[in-house]
Amino acid sequence: MNPAGALALKLVVTPVLIGAASLVGRRWGSALSGWLIGIPFTSAPIAFFLALDPGPAFASRAAAAIMAGAISQAVFCLAFAWTARRAPWASSLVAGTAGFGIATAVLTTVVLPVAGAFVVVIIVLVVALFLMPAAPARPGRRVSFPHWDLPARMAVATAFVVLLTTVAPLLGARMAGLLAPYPLYGGVLAVFAYRLEGVDASVAVLRGLLLGLFAFACFFAVLATLLQGELWLAFAAAIVVAGLVQGTALLIGRRWGLA
């Protein structure tokens, strides 16, 4: 895909996704909006573009790094959620981003085989879910959202996606892969939930995101393993596996009161 086409795709997909996730959150709860954006809508296209150019070998290494980046996302969620209990949303976002950056710096020094890294990612996600601050068991308050809410969310998320996806491929397969999972959508939704609905809604978004990251990790584990073969087969298999895991994670999360 040429640069103009890739940019057009980002400008269309990003606002549609963030708008859909926001509406899901209003209708069915913040955790569901977080769970929805766990699907790799931005990272998957990055992997696809990298598979076309520079090629499958580069994309396979990037996919392995993107999978490992789920650890950084988990650290982001924990840092944001716990900071939000005591500080404003801006401080929470800074703390989450700092946590993501520190985890990413550590991951640049550690390279495991795909299978080993996948096991570590799953363990980290499970631990992170149970370390998240608990939300009080009370119904959420009704909120009258301002007219600018959805357009603002879409604009902020789109700007971040365009910036990150423009810079990331210049940094090499490993670094591009580790930066690509930065939780742009999760951060935007968590901030807006905090401002408009309160801390509990913000934490619920991040808890839902953690649930969605199981499918995220599975998607990129499959890609990293199969991208050396047929491109269409690798992505088809990754989509099927991620879809099954995404639904299962939601069912388990609902049963355990995590979503």
Domain tally, the chain: 1
pLDDT for the residue 95: 96
User: What confidence score (pLDDT) does residue 51 get?
Assistant: 76
Tokens standing for 77?
A: 């969620």
Tell me the average pLDDT across 228-257.
Answer: 84
Helix ranges, 53-197 (H): 56-84, 89-107, 114-131, 149-167, 173-179, 184-197
Confidence band of 10 (pLDDT split at 50, 70, 90): low
Q: Where are the alpha helices (DSSP H) in 53-88?
A: 56-84
How big is the chain by its Cα radius of gyration, in Å? 17
* More confident of the two residues 238 and 142: 238
Lowest mean pLDDT among 85-94, 117-126, 159-168, 224-233: 159-168
Query: Is residue 66 assigned to a domain?
Result: yes
Structural domain for 187, as ranges: 3-134+147-255
In the chain, what is the straight-line distance between the N-terminal and C-terminal CA atoms, in Å? 37
On whether residue 238 sits in a domain, the answer given is: yes
73: left (phi over 0), alpha (psi -120 to 50) or beta: alpha
| pLDDT surpasses 50 at 107 | yes
Among 3-12, 50-59, 90-99, the range scoring the smallest mean pLDDT is 3-12
Closest C-alpha among 135, 132, 126 to residue 30: 135
Q: What's the whole-number mean pLDDT along residues 210-215?
A: 91
Greater pLDDT, 71 or 54: 71
Tell me what pLDDT residue 140 has.
46
| Residue 2 reports pLDDT greater than 80 | no
The answer to whether position 140 is within a domain reads no
Least confident of 67-71, 131-135, 183-187, 188-192: 183-187
5-19, 150-164, 232-246: lowest mean pLDDT where? 5-19
Confidence of residue 71 (pLDDT cuts 50, 70, 90): very high
How many angstroms separate the CA atoms of 194 and 89, rounded?
6
- Residue 67: inside a domain: yes
In this prediction, residue 139 carries a pLDDT of 42
Distance CA 20, CA 34 (A): 11
Q: What is the pLDDT of residue 137?
A: 46
Residue 195 lies in a domain: yes
1 DSSP assignment: -
- Averaged pLDDT, 71-82: 96
Is residue 69 one of the residues assigned to a domain? yes
Mean pLDDT to the nearest integer, 120-141: 79
In a domain, 142, yes or no: no
CB 229 within 8 A of CB 255: no
Q: Which amino acid is at 248?
A: T
Residue in this structure with the two tokens 């790094």, named with its chain if needed: 65
* 141 is a domain residue: no
Per the CB < 8 A criterion, the answer to whether 195 and 163 are in contact is no
> Looking at residue 153, what is its pLDDT?
63
243 has pLDDT over 80? yes
- Peptide bond between residue 54 and the one before it cis (omega within 30 degrees of 0): yes
The values of phi and psi at residue 87, to 5°, are -145, 165
What percent of the chain clears pLDDT 90, i.e. is strictly above it?
33
Whole-number pLDDT of residue 14: 66
Q: For residue range 132-179, what is the model confidence (pLDDT) as tens digits?
A: 997 654 444 445 556 666 677 677 667 766 776 677 667 776 787 787
Please write down the long-range contacts of 246-249, taking CB distance under 8 Å and 24 or more positions apart.
246/35, 246/38, 246/39, 246/212, 246/214, 246/215, 249/35, 249/211, 249/212, 249/214, 249/215
